[in-house]
Structure 1
């Protein structure tokens, strides 16, 4: 297949990811405009995808975001004119862009989606009636909150991206593994090198934010004191994405101990930045990233391993490369191949899929069941 042409789309009422015009092509500028998370930045940095913010439409399916995070749903319309930190309950956030989503939002009806091989929508950004007009384009959606609407593709879309990264490769349209943090082994490292104009300092230990409940994080929790007592610098989470990524990029280790279990997007970010991730894999949904050598259960085991790595630079490099290769396979190669396979399957059909009144009925019933 020739070089893919891909688009990533979000609505002006979405509370995460990038806030920039489609004309912005610098991956660093796109990334640092994010309201919070890194997201699927490799689409733009490694695959040259276009990124769109589209206006909210009135169709029922495009309002699914109201079901995803109901506690702030009544305020998300404010993102058309305000930044995330102006939303009630989100005041502690530090969005990367000073502009609201609405500044760059365009009507989805003004875009020729037929120019793309693959269009990935965060939530349901594009109405069913619109995407059915482009039978040669693969349309996939990813619900912003993991584990929602992942069982099968609905609303006329070809694929639903389930935010998993298990190395499974799909060969047909439907539910496929595709992580929220879609990155290659060195995607973020290359972006930070260009942004900072220097290599990583590779010093200190970055504490994963969910090791503590404090927001924003201002101090080392008590259970991390043994690491500090052992002479290691503990680096804390920063609210602004550019500042936080710089801290992880310059750290030598990315660790989590205690606190709540995590999906592991932050782990993927750290590995792509070249920072070795060490933690208990039982506390990470994306547990594949925690290779055997970096799987520790106690703080004593954590300190022992880091001491060993400090005395054996070659072992550090070996584990770093091994972990990055796992990331590349699970978070980049496999999900991308699944999209390519789904596109081939769709284009190989003798006639386009239909979206019948029964499909619409069942999707409407499913919509009503969502929380």
Structure 2
């Protein structure tokens, strides 16, 4: 696969991901500037992608973010001048950057999108008419919240990224499996090792945040006490991303038990950081991440498995390597191949660039009911 020139784009009103200049190319500094989640940092760390924050545009399609998380939509304009923790209801957040999105926002019309092979937009950052003016560039959007506007590609874009990671490789433009956390099996470990200038401490057990309802997490829940009784330190979630990633990087195990079911991005991140993930596969949408050997149904089973692994260091390395191979395949190689295939199809078949009256009508109706 030839090296692809890629751009990742978000609007100045988006409440997640990185807050930095498009001139920043250090993956660690980009990652640590995030308002919350890790996101598709592999685009920058593995593929050398450029990252842009663009100004909010008035077109209807670029306003779809108001439908995505309506309970805070009235306040998202504040992100142009303030940090996430200043938004009502988000005061407990600790964004990685002290800067507001708007400080780094540029006009989408000032960028030559034609110099990129692929442009990935979080929500719909670029107006339809602008997207259609670059027939050789593959444009995709990923709605910030999963399962929205993913049944077909809309708004003149070629692909919609559905946040799934099933190992399905797309052969055609349209719906594409592409996880919100796009990383290879050791992407995050390499970033952290370089940023901290030291190897992992490999100590303790990091408790996945959704094992408890408490926000922010301040205490170990009772159902994790059996692990404490065995002498393991239980490491709790931190609000600031650099601190949290450091904790996971230094942990030996990453355990999710109880609480709500999760998509699995945090699991992929833990594995990429070099922590062995142990949990009930039925509590994770991305079930493939939980290999058979690490699939436990109760805390007793988790304790028993960790006891077994502690007595056999070679088993630990074997299981971690196996998990990393899964992340490589599902969270990096398959989605990357899908992008490449869709780009080839677009450039070989100009019919994919057409956007007629029916498409415009269908996309307008999408504002009334997003699926």
> Match of 1:38, SS?
coil
Aligned counterpart, 2:215: 215
Aligned counterpart, 2:34: 34
Please give the residue correspondences for 1:32-111 in structure 2 after superposition, counting only pairs within 5 Å.
32-111=32-111
Please list the CA deviations of residues 180-199 of structure 1 after superposition, one character each: whole Å capped at 9, or x if unmatched. 00000110000000011000
| 2:216 pairs with 1:244 | no
Please give the residue correspondences for 1:167-316 in structure 2 after superposition, counting only pairs within 5 Å.
167-316=167-316
Given that 2:12 and 2:80 are in contact with CA atoms closer than 8 Å, whether structure 1 keeps it comes out as yes
Given that 2:158 and 2:352 are in contact with CA atoms closer than 8 Å, whether structure 1 keeps it comes out as no
- CA offset at residue 77 of structure 1? 0.3
Write the distance in 2 (CA, Å) between the matches of 1:353 and 1:319.
45
Please give the residue correspondences for 1:100-139 in structure 2 after superposition, counting only pairs within 5 Å.
100-139=100-139
Aligned length: 371
Please list the CA deviations of residues 310-348 of structure 1 after superposition, one character each: whole Å capped at 9, or x if unmatched. 000000000000000000000000000000000000000
- CA offset at residue 368 of structure 1? 1.5
Q: Give the TM-score of the pair, scaled to structure 1.
A: 0.99
Aligned counterpart, 1:159: 159
| 2:353 pairs with 1:331 | no
> Match of 1:96, SS?
coil
The 3 A distance-change label for structure 1 pair 352 and 305 is closer
Write the distance in 1 (CA, Å) between the matches of 2:291 and 2:109.
46
**What RMSD, in angstroms, separates the aligned Cα atoms of the two structures?**
0.9
Given that 2:158 and 2:353 are in contact with CA atoms closer than 8 Å, whether structure 1 keeps it comes out as no
Aligned counterpart, 2:317: 317
> Match of 1:327, SS?
helix
Write the distance in 2 (CA, Å) between the matches of 1:2 and 1:365.
38
Write the distance in 1 (CA, Å) between the matches of 2:352 and 2:142.
22
Write the distance in 2 (CA, Å) between the matches of 1:230 and 1:323.
25
Instruction: Note the residue ranges of structure 1 that are not aligned, 5 or more in a row.
Output: none
- CA offset at residue 353 of structure 1? 2.2
> Match of 1:368, SS?
coil
> Match of 2:368, SS?
helix
Write the distance in 2 (CA, Å) between the matches of 1:369 and 1:262.
25
Instruction: Note the residue ranges of structure 2 that are not aligned, 5 or more in a row.
Output: none
- CA offset at residue 352 of structure 1? 5.8
Please list the CA deviations of residues 156-207 of structure 1 after superposition, one character each: whole Å capped at 9, or x if unmatched. 0000000000000000000010000000011000000001100000010000
